[in-house]
Chains A and B, each alone.
Chain A
């Protein structure tokens, strides 16, 4: 099909499949309406409320000592968590792809547990293991360490699942070449494996960071809302209970902006990654593929 397109570029492009029965316009209308009612309208109400008492009020709510403290706390904890999971997530992904050990498929399945397990249950089981009834005698409940552990639990799959496919696809020729040239294991990792994993790792880390910023359920019981363990999402919950809706809305907007910045970073990384991939395809010196890829780009722009 591609060859055909390359031979006769002037041939009329075959009509893309229409949505069955309904026109694309109707489908588009349904999608836009659905997203507006479900997602955009509530967010508009949130923004409206946060600014309902003027910009000055918004600013005073956002810069109140507890708001600043809770935002700072969640930022620092998320950074620590993301760093820990970047290291351990990469190790786990490497084990799952390159190593063989009994029970590997079970480990591979259990990685997704935090995706499947309700966050409140995560909170409950963490407090049982690391709380005052801890069978191993470690009690970190209601401390800042608890925030870190809870966020580690929730965000681990993001990193593993982002790195794993890249490791599977990675060509081992380069590593073997480096080894035959006398490079040690660590050098091979640092100079060859790590640079190849970087786009996936960065995207996974950004996703994990965005998730950690807003995490609520798993932190609620385990770390609680004590004065020095109140993260932004918990503070928002407290403000709602106290009836300070505009304050809660203002902090929400700041938290939302930080998470959106993360999403933007992910999009940029993905675009960078796909460009990287395409340049490799172009290197394959295949005029048909190259032509098709360029044609697609033209359409998009």
Chain B
């Protein structure tokens, strides 16, 4: 047993021990606690009226926020990489902002813009549109927090593929749309898909920003993460754990998708 083997084992114990204690143990405990008394209590809690409504609302926000941010992300990446412009650095900086801003601060800024005495309040009230404490506010918060993901994953791929193939397609007489659909998009698809997965995970789980703008009204403006918090605070543990396990399972699906996509991208 020489010194390098023992230091290797030391590092293994430290590194893997850290992962086990910090990440794996809590996750296992979550599943254990939830199903301690069988499948029925958490299942009933999730399929209760409020639970189902929270699930539906969460899926609705994903269905709106993710496609919008994907379209925006692809257009924006093409602009940043393929079209030199003086303002590009500013666009780039603004896209990174949501990464740096606390979710509560994002929620508060939307609250101030659309809420009572907010800039938009008079106009919105006249038209009878309710943004705050209703679905549009929740969707806006989710879009805000997930703006960067698709752009950040697509830009490096676009830079890497270069323009040779696109130029070849152009020489052969393809028009802009044909080049985009047949050449560019297939080349960047794994990068875009990876961004979409990250974006989906963030929208599914967003808590801080949504909690400020939604008002957390059960059965109305409650997303799944808010459902977890409210049930925990009301000591309805089967409800909190049931919804938490559902979100954790979705997170595991996201993890698997991330790994598959990374492998595809590398291949």
Contacts and interface: CB of A to CB of B under 8 A. Distances in A.
Interface of A: 1, 14, 16-21, 24, 27-28, 30-32, 34-35, 38-43, 45-46, 48-49, 88, 91-92, 94-95, 99, 101, 105, 107-122, 124-126, 128-129, 135, 149, 152-153, 156, 184-185, 207, 210-211, 213-217, 220-221, 232-233, 236-237, 240, 245, 248-249, 252, 255-256, 259-260, 262-263, 299-300
Contacts of A217: 103, 207-208, 225
Nearest to A41: B113
B212 A240 contact: yes
B251 interface: yes
A128 B33 contact: yes
Interface in B1-35: 3-4, 7-8, 11-12, 14-16, 18-19, 22-27, 29-30, 33
19 contacts: A16-B83, A20-B179, A20-B181, A24-B79, A28-B83, A31-B72, A32-B91, A41-B113, A41-B119, A88-B15, A91-B11, A101-B16, A110-B24, A121-B225, A125-B30, A216-B103, A216-B104, A233-B103, A263-B93
Interface residues on chain B, size class = 35 or more
B225 A120 contact: yes
Contacts of B118: 45
Contacts of A17: 78, 82, 163, 166-167, 170, 176, 179, 184
B225 A125 contact: no
Contact of A118 (B7, B147, B166, B205): B205
Nearest to A105: B259
The interface residues of chain B, by DSSP majority, are classed as helix
Interface of B: 3-4, 7-8, 11-12, 14-16, 18-19, 22-27, 29-30, 33, 72, 75-76, 78-79, 82-85, 87, 91, 93-113, 118-119, 140, 143-144, 147, 163-164, 166-167, 170, 175-181, 184, 198, 201, 204-208, 211-212, 224-226, 228-229, 232, 240-241, 244, 247-248, 251-252, 254-256, 258-259
Residue from B11, B95, B178, B208 having most chain A Cβ neighbours under 10 A: B208
B94 A236 contact: no
Contacts of B83: 16, 19, 24, 27-28
A116 B29 contact: no
A118 B225 contact: yes
Contact of B255 (A45, A112, A185, A237): A112
Contact of B180 (A20, A120, A237): A20
A160 to B, nearest CB: 9
Given A43-B109, A153-B22, A216-B103, A92 B79 contact: no
Given A41-B113, A45-B113, A115-B198, A109 B100 contact: no
A42 B252 contact: no
A216 B102 contact: yes
B16 A256 contact: no
